[in-house]
Structure 1
Amino acid sequence: MYTELKSYQIIIALLKQYGISHCVLSAGSRNVPFVHSIEEDPFFKCYSVVDERSAGYFALGLAQELNQPVVISCTSSTATCNYWPPVAEAFYQGVPLIVLTSDRDPAMLGQWEDQMIDQVGMYDRHVKKSVNLPVVENKKDFWWCQRLVNEALLELDHHGKGPVHINVPMTSYNISFNVKNLPYVTKINRLETDKNLDLWSSKVEKLKQSKRILITCGQNSSVSDQLKIEMEKFFHRYNSAISVEYMSNLSCDGVINTFTCWDTRYVTERKFLDFIPDIVISFGGNIMSGVKEMLKRNCGKFEHWSIQEDGRIVDMFMSLTTVFECSPEYFFSYANQNSDETQKNDRTYYNEIKSYADSIVYPEFEYSNVYVIKNIVESIPSDSMLHLAINGAIRITNYSMLKPNIKVYANIGTHGIDGCMSSFLGQASVRSALSFLVIGDLAFFYDMNSIRIRHLGKNVRILLINNQGGEEFYYNGMWQDEASDLHTTARHHTKAEGWVKECGIKYIAVHCKDELEAAKQVFFDEAYDRPVLIEAFTEMAHDSKVLYDFYALSKPVDMKQKSKEVIKGVIGQEAAKKLKNMFNK
C-alpha cells in the first residue's frame, strides 16, 4: 500500500518508469510516507543508513559501482544540511544521485515551525537541477508536480551525469497508507541526435500510423530554406497540417494561419473537438494564437512532441511526452528520410482545418482600430519588415492578409509592453527598405523616448493607434464600469503630436477612413525624406465591440454558447456579467 500524498505517489511512479530502484534511506518523520511506500514495493532495493552524511557517501559508492542513479531520502531541517558534503562530491565526480528532501508546510517557513529551514534550492550550485514540488491538491498541481519530477530525473545524465535535488513539501504529517495502486504518470522522453536510435525509429512509425498530425510553429525571427523544404516534404508525406501565425515567419505548402479560426473568443470548445490531433509537434518560440489555450483545455487527448535545440522541457499544452533535442531541420529531415516512398498525405485533416478557416466572414469594417490596422498592414509591400507591439496589433494583423515575404517581429518572448518601439528602431536601423511598426498608445507613450534615438532613418513608418487607453481590458471583459477607466484601462486624452514633431518626424493625424486614405500616400512613399508617423484616433469601447460583432458573423454556436447568448439577450450584458461573477465566487 502507498501513501495518500500525491507528490510522493508521483515520485515513486516515475522512479519506477525510469528504472531507478536503489534507495538509501535515513530515518525521520517527514519522509515516512516515501520510506514505507517503497519498502513494501518489491521493485525497490532499500538500504538503511541513519546518518545523512554517511548515507550520501554510501549512495555515491553504490551509484559508482552499479553505474546507476541512486536515491537518498531524509526528513526535514538540518538533516538535509548533512547531505551537503556527499552532494558536492557527487557533483564534481559526475555521479547521479536523486537527493529527495522532505519538507514542511511552505506557509510556515520562518514562523518557528519545528524542524523547518529554507530547503528550496539549498544545493543549487552543486546539483544539475533543483525543483521544489507543489502540494498536490488538484489536476493542475498533479501536472505541475509530474513535470518537475520529470525535469529533475531527465537531468541525471543530460550532457554529463550528476546529482539532482527534489524538495517535497507537505502541509501535515501523514502516515496513512491506503492507496493500492500508483496513479498513471507520463514519463517524458528526451531524444538526442546521437542516442536513442530505437526510440527515433518508433516515433517515425507512430507518425506513419497517425491520421491527424498538427505542427504548431511558434515565433521565429528567421526560417532557413532547408527547413521550408523539409517541412513541405513532411506535409506531402504525412497526414499533417501546419498551424502558423505571422510571427512564425514560415511560408510553405501546408501552412494555415489559425489565429482567427481558433481564437478562444471565436471557436467554441465543442467545435474545437472536431480538430483534436493525434500528435502535436511544436517548434519555435511563444505562440500567441488561441491554439495554445484550446490544446491546453484538451490536454491528455493527444501526444505532444516538442523540438527544442537545447533539450528544455516546454510543456505548453500540458501533454508533453517527448522532447527532441535537435534542430527542426534535423527532425523533419529524419522523418522524411525514414518515410515510405509511397507514403502520401491524404489531406483530410488539413482540408478540415483549411475549410473552417476559410469559412470566416470578413465584413467591411467601420472606422475603428480593426479597420485602420487591417487597411495599413494589407498595404505593406512584399519583402518589408513589420514589427507588432503587443495584443491588439498582433491580433488584428493576424486577422489580415499580408503580402508575401514580409518578416514579422514582436516582443512576445516575455509579452511585455515595454521596449516594442526601441526594438523596432534597432531592426529598422540596419535596413534601407521601408520598415513598419504597429503600436498602441500605452505602449507608445511607455517607450516614447526611443524616437529621439539619433539612428532613426527615413525608412521608419509608425502606425500609432490612439484609442485613449488599454482597449485590451475592454476586449478581455475586465472593464467593469467608469471607475475601471481610471486605474485599469488608464484612460487618457494625450496626443503624440508635439513630441513626434519635436523629434523631426512627419506627423499625420487620422480620424476617419478618408483621412487614412490620404495619409497612406505619404506613409508608403519610399522617396519621402523623413520618418512618418500616423496617429489614428479611435475609441476603445467601440473598437472592442467591432471585434465581437465580427466574431458573431460566422462563429459556431453550440447549446452552451447559445444559452449564454439567450441569457444576455434577456437580462442584458451587465446583469449577465454580475450573474457570472456571483457563480464564480
Structure 2
Amino acid sequence: MKQFSAKRSIQILGHILQQYGINKMVISPGSRNAPLAIHFSDLDSFECFSVVDERSAAFTAMGMAKSLKKPVAISCTSGSAAANYYPAVTEAFYQNVPLLILTADRPRDFVDIFDGQTIRQKNLFQQHSYGDFELLEDETENAEVENFKTIKTAIELCIEKQGPVHINIPLSEPLYGLVYEMPVFPEIEVIKQEKKYEIPSQLISEFNQSKRILILAGTHDKNPELESILSQLVKNHSVVVLTEANSNLYHEKFFNHIDRYVFNFNDEDIRTFAPDLLITIGQNVVSKKVKEFLRKAKPSKHWHIDQHWFPNTYYALTEKINAKPEVFFGQLLPFSKLEPQAYYNLWDVLRDKRDAKHDAYCSTIRFSDFKIFEILEQKIPQNYHVHVSNSSAIRYTELFPFSKNHHIFCNRGTSGIDGSTSTAMGYAMMSENPVILVTGELSFLYDVNGLWNQYIPPYTRIIVVNNGEGNIFRIIPGPSSTNAVDEFIATKHHKTCEHIAKHYGFSYFKVDEEETLLRTLDNFFKPEEKPKILEINTSEIQNADVLKEYFNALK
C-alpha cells in the first residue's frame, strides 16, 4: 500500500512539482526531511535517488539537471546538511543549471536556542540563488493558500532563470505521520512564454561597418544550429571565431585552441590583433591569456549575447543582448555583408604558424600528462560525453580538438576542483550516451564520495591522471618560487586510486607508460558489468616542464 506524508505542505509541493514536470529528486538521509523522503519515494510519477553526502548529492543533481536540461530537486535534513549544498549551489548559479533546493528545517522558534541541527537556514543561499523562499507550517493561518503560491512562484523562477532556487521548509514533529490517499488539489495551467527577440537595425549597421570582428565562445552546450550559423559567418573570412573545447563548437575555420595563439602576445601583438567589435557568447572562458589580451585590447564595442548573464569581463561591454545566440545570429545573418576581411587573414597566418609548431612538438613529445591528453582525444569513442575536471586537466584538453567529435563538460562556473566526479556521475545517470570523466587525482580524491552512488551505469568510465600533486601550481607562475609549494600548495602525495575502486565496485587498471596505455585503452571501453577506472601514473615525470617546453616551441 502506498504511503504519503500527512504534512499538507509536502502534499502541495508534490502536486505542484508534478504539474511542472519536475520528477527527479536526490534525497540525503535525515529525520527532519523524512516527510519528503516518505512522500516522494512513493509517488508513481517521481524517481528518487539516495546520496548520503549532501555536498556530493547537490553536485550529482546538478549533473542530472545538465543532462536532462530541466530542474532537479534536492532534499536534505536541517542544520549543517543544508550548508553542505553551498558549493554546488554556487556552481549551478554561475552555470545557470536549474536546481530546486528543498531544505527541511526546525520550526522558526527553534533557531538560535541551541537546539540540535538548527542553524539560520532562511535565505541561506541568498547570494547565489535566484530566489529564497520559506513555507509556513501547516498549523499557521492561511498556510495552504500561501504555500501553494510560494511553491508555484519558486518553481516558475527556477525554470525561468535556469538556476538554483531555495525553498526552506520548517517542519514540526511528528514527522512520520502517514496518509494512504492523496487529497485533490487544483490543476495548474502551465504557460510557457517564449521570449521573442528582434535584432535592432542599429546592431546590423554596426556589424556591417566593423572590419575587425572577433566572436569569442566560452562554455556552451553542444548546439548544431549555432555552429551552422557561425560557419556561414566565417565562410568568406568575414569574422574570426575563437572557441575552446568546452565551447562545443567546431569548424575548420574556427580558431579552436585559444592559448595556442595568444599565449605570448606583447603590446604590439595586442594592437595588431585587437578587434573593433567583440561579440561574446556562452559563459566562463578557461583561457586566462585571452582575458588578458582583450582587457588590454580595449575594443570600442563589446556585445554579450545571453538570456541570463551580461558580465563585463573585458571592461568594454556596450550591448547586453538578451537572446539565444542562435536566434541573434540567425536574424543577423541575412543582413550581413560577409565580405572578406584582412583581419581574418591576420589570424589565419598566425594559426598556420602555430599549428605547424604544435604538430612538430607532438611528434617528438615523451610520455607525460601532455601526451596523455593527445592520446585520449584520439582514443575516446565518439559516442562518449566527456567530463573534464578543473585545474590542469581542462587546460590540457583545450590544446587538442576534443570538441570536434565529443560533447565536453567542465564545471567552469566557479572553476573549483570540488564536485567534478559527482557532477559527471549525475550526468551519467540520466544520459542516453555513455560518459567518461577525465580528471586529475586531487580533484578525484577530493570528491571521492561522488562514487558513493548506487545508480552509476556500468558503461561509465573514469580516467585519473595521477601526477602526485596539484601540478597546476608548477605550471602557473609564482608558487614554485616559494618554500610552501610542496606541502601546502601543490600538496605532493603518494596516494593511488586502487583501493577506492575496489571499495566502490569499479574495475581498476593502472598504467605508467605509453605502450601499456595504448594497449589498455583498446579494451577499456569494451562493455563490462561494472564501471571502470583507469589510473595513469605520471608522478615521476616533470609534467610542468613538458608543458612549458611546448609553449616555448610555439614561439
Q: Which residue of 1 aligns with 2:407?
A: 407
Q: Which residue of 2 aligns with 1:515?
A: 516
Q: Which residue of 1 aligns with 2:331?
A: 334
AA matched with 1:510 = V
Superimposed CA distance per residue, residues 450-474 of structure 1 (whole angstroms, 9 cap, x where no aligned partner) = 1131011221111111111111111
Give 1:253 shift.
Answer: 5.8
Do the aligned partners of residues 533 and 263 (structure 1) sit closer, same or farther apart at CA in structure 2, a change above 3 Å counting?
Answer: farther
What TM-score results when the alignment is normalised by the length of structure 1?
0.57
Q: Which residue of 1 aligns with 2:253?
A: 254
Do the aligned partners of residues 220 and 413 (structure 1) sit closer, same or farther apart at CA in structure 2, a change above 3 Å counting?
Answer: same
Q: Which residue of 1 aligns with 2:422?
A: 422
Give 1:386 shift.
Answer: 0.4
Give 1:271 shift.
Answer: 3.2
Do the aligned partners of residues 366 and 453 (structure 1) sit closer, same or farther apart at CA in structure 2, a change above 3 Å counting?
Answer: same
For 1:184-583, what aligned pairs fall within 5 Å after superposition?
A: 200-223=200-223, 225-236=224-235, 239-252=238-251, 254-262=253-261, 264=263, 266-290=264-288, 292-310=290-308, 312-340=309-337, 343=339, 347-349=344-346, 351-361=348-358, 362-363=361-362, 364-402=364-402, 404-431=404-431, 433-477=433-477, 478-481=479-482, 483-525=484-526, 527-539=527-539, 542-555=542-555
Do the aligned partners of residues 274 and 356 (structure 1) sit closer, same or farther apart at CA in structure 2, a change above 3 Å counting?
Answer: farther
Do the aligned partners of residues 419 and 403 (structure 1) sit closer, same or farther apart at CA in structure 2, a change above 3 Å counting?
Answer: closer
Tell me the secondary structure at the aligned position of residue 542 of structure 2.
Answer: helix
Task: Name the CA distance, whole Å, in 1 between partners of 2:356 and 2:522.
Answer: 33
Tell me the secondary structure at the aligned position of residue 536 of structure 1.
Answer: strand
Task: Name the CA distance, whole Å, in 2 between partners of 1:433 and 1:330.
Answer: 27
Give 1:338 shift.
Answer: 2.2
Give 1:241 shift.
Answer: 1.3
Give 1:337 shift.
Answer: 2.5
Give 1:502 shift.
Answer: 1.8
Q: Which residue of 2 aligns with 1:51?
A: none
Task: Name the CA distance, whole Å, in 2 between partners of 1:386 and 1:317.
Answer: 29
Task: Name the CA distance, whole Å, in 2 between partners of 1:304 and 1:218.
Answer: 15
Q: Which residue of 2 aligns with 1:128?
A: none
Q: Which residue of 2 aligns with 1:147?
A: none
Deviates more, 1:543-552 or 1:230-239: 230-239
Task: Name the CA distance, whole Å, in 2 between partners of 1:535 and 1:229.
Answer: 38
Give 1:300 shift.
Answer: 2.3
Task: Name the CA distance, whole Å, in 1 between partners of 2:268 and 2:341.
Answer: 26
Work out whether residues 523 and 532 of structure 1, in 8 Å CA contact, stay in contact via their aligned partners in 2.
Answer: yes
Do the aligned partners of residues 194 and 448 (structure 1) sit closer, same or farther apart at CA in structure 2, a change above 3 Å counting?
Answer: closer
Task: Name the CA distance, whole Å, in 1 between partners of 2:236 and 2:330.
Answer: 12
Give 1:403 shift.
Answer: 7.1
Task: Name the CA distance, whole Å, in 1 between partners of 2:267 and 2:336.
Answer: 34
Task: Name the CA distance, whole Å, in 1 between partners of 2:281 and 2:403.
Answer: 24
Do the aligned partners of residues 397 and 414 (structure 1) sit closer, same or farther apart at CA in structure 2, a change above 3 Å counting?
Answer: same
Tell me the secondary structure at the aligned position of residue 255 of structure 1.
Answer: coil
Aligned residues: 359
Task: Name the CA distance, whole Å, in 2 between partners of 1:380 and 1:268.
Answer: 37
Tell me the secondary structure at the aligned position of residue 305 of structure 1.
Answer: strand
Superimposed CA distance per residue, residues 149-207 of structure 1 (whole angstroms, 9 cap, x where no aligned partner) = xxxxxxxxxxxxxxxxxxxxxxxxxxxxxxxxxxxxxxxxxxx9668x7xx22222222
Give 1:505 shift.
Answer: 0.9
Superimposed CA distance per residue, residues 549-570 of structure 1 (whole angstroms, 9 cap, x where no aligned partner) = 1111122xxxxxxxxxxxxxxx
Work out whether residues 373 and 438 of structure 1, in 8 Å CA contact, stay in contact via their aligned partners in 2.
Answer: no
Give 1:237 shift.
Answer: 6.2
Q: Which residue of 1 aligns with 2:61?
A: none
Deviates more, 1:414-423 or 1:501-510: 501-510
What TM-score results when the alignment is normalised by the length of structure 2?
0.60
Tell me the secondary structure at the aligned position of residue 450 of structure 2.
Answer: helix
Q: Which residue of 2 aligns with 1:12?
A: none
Tell me the secondary structure at the aligned position of residue 323 of structure 1.
Answer: strand
Tell me the secondary structure at the aligned position of residue 458 of structure 1.
Answer: coil
Work out whether residues 380 and 403 of structure 1, in 8 Å CA contact, stay in contact via their aligned partners in 2.
Answer: no
AA matched with 1:203 = L
Work out whether residues 213 and 277 of structure 2, in 8 Å CA contact, stay in contact via their aligned partners in 1.
Answer: yes
Work out whether residues 496 and 535 of structure 1, in 8 Å CA contact, stay in contact via their aligned partners in 2.
Answer: yes
Task: Name the CA distance, whole Å, in 2 between partners of 1:260 and 1:326.
Answer: 28
Task: Name the CA distance, whole Å, in 1 between partners of 2:214 and 2:543.
Answer: 33
Work out whether residues 385 and 435 of structure 2, in 8 Å CA contact, stay in contact via their aligned partners in 1.
Answer: yes
Work out whether residues 214 and 278 of structure 2, in 8 Å CA contact, stay in contact via their aligned partners in 1.
Answer: yes
AA matched with 1:300 = K
Task: Name the CA distance, whole Å, in 1 between partners of 2:403 and 2:304.
Answer: 30
Work out whether residues 286 and 413 of structure 1, in 8 Å CA contact, stay in contact via their aligned partners in 2.
Answer: yes
Tell me the secondary structure at the aligned position of residue 285 of structure 1.
Answer: coil
Between the aligned residues of both structures, percent identity stands at 24
Task: Name the CA distance, whole Å, in 2 between partners of 1:510 and 1:280.
Answer: 45
Work out whether residues 270 and 297 of structure 2, in 8 Å CA contact, stay in contact via their aligned partners in 1.
Answer: no
Work out whether residues 216 and 279 of structure 2, in 8 Å CA contact, stay in contact via their aligned partners in 1.
Answer: yes
Tell me the secondary structure at the aligned position of residue 376 of structure 1.
Answer: helix
Superimposed CA distance per residue, residues 366-393 of structure 1 (whole angstroms, 9 cap, x where no aligned partner) = 1211122221232112232100000211
RMSD over aligned CA atoms reads: 2.8
Greater than 6 Å deviation, 4+ residue runs: 192-195
Tell me the secondary structure at the aligned position of residue 436 of structure 2.
Answer: strand
Tell me the secondary structure at the aligned position of residue 261 of structure 1.
Answer: helix
Task: Name the CA distance, whole Å, in 1 between partners of 2:392 and 2:262.
Answer: 13
AA matched with 2:280 = S
Give 1:268 shift.
Answer: 4.2
Task: Name the CA distance, whole Å, in 2 between partners of 1:194 and 1:518.
Answer: 52
Work out whether residues 471 and 541 of structure 1, in 8 Å CA contact, stay in contact via their aligned partners in 2.
Answer: no
Tell me the secondary structure at the aligned position of residue 454 of structure 1.
Answer: coil
Task: Name the CA distance, whole Å, in 2 between partners of 1:291 and 1:482.
Answer: 27
Task: Name the CA distance, whole Å, in 1 between partners of 2:540 and 2:201.
Answer: 53
Work out whether residues 261 and 350 of structure 2, in 8 Å CA contact, stay in contact via their aligned partners in 1.
Answer: no
Give 1:324 shift.
Answer: 1.3
Do the aligned partners of residues 438 and 390 (structure 1) sit closer, same or farther apart at CA in structure 2, a change above 3 Å counting?
Answer: same
Q: Which structure is richer in relative contact order (CA contacts within 8 A, separation 6 or more)?
A: 2
Tell me the secondary structure at the aligned position of residue 465 of structure 2.
Answer: strand
Do the aligned partners of residues 258 and 511 (structure 1) sit closer, same or farther apart at CA in structure 2, a change above 3 Å counting?
Answer: closer
Task: Name the CA distance, whole Å, in 1 between partners of 2:516 and 2:483.
Answer: 30
Work out whether residues 250 and 403 of structure 2, in 8 Å CA contact, stay in contact via their aligned partners in 1.
Answer: no
Task: Name the CA distance, whole Å, in 2 between partners of 1:388 and 1:546.
Answer: 20
Unaligned 5+ residue runs, structure 1?
1-123, 125-191, 556-585
AA matched with 1:314 = P
AA matched with 2:461 = R
AA matched with 2:311 = V
Task: Name the CA distance, whole Å, in 2 between partners of 1:194 and 1:434.
Answer: 36
Task: Name the CA distance, whole Å, in 1 between partners of 2:327 and 2:455.
Answer: 39
Work out whether residues 261 and 356 of structure 1, in 8 Å CA contact, stay in contact via their aligned partners in 2.
Answer: no
Task: Name the CA distance, whole Å, in 2 between partners of 1:214 and 1:494.
Answer: 45
Work out whether residues 428 and 459 of structure 1, in 8 Å CA contact, stay in contact via their aligned partners in 2.
Answer: no
Tell me the secondary structure at the aligned position of residue 438 of structure 1.
Answer: strand
Work out whether residues 262 and 293 of structure 2, in 8 Å CA contact, stay in contact via their aligned partners in 1.
Answer: no
Task: Name the CA distance, whole Å, in 2 between partners of 1:536 and 1:499.
Answer: 15
Tell me the secondary structure at the aligned position of residue 463 of structure 2.
Answer: strand
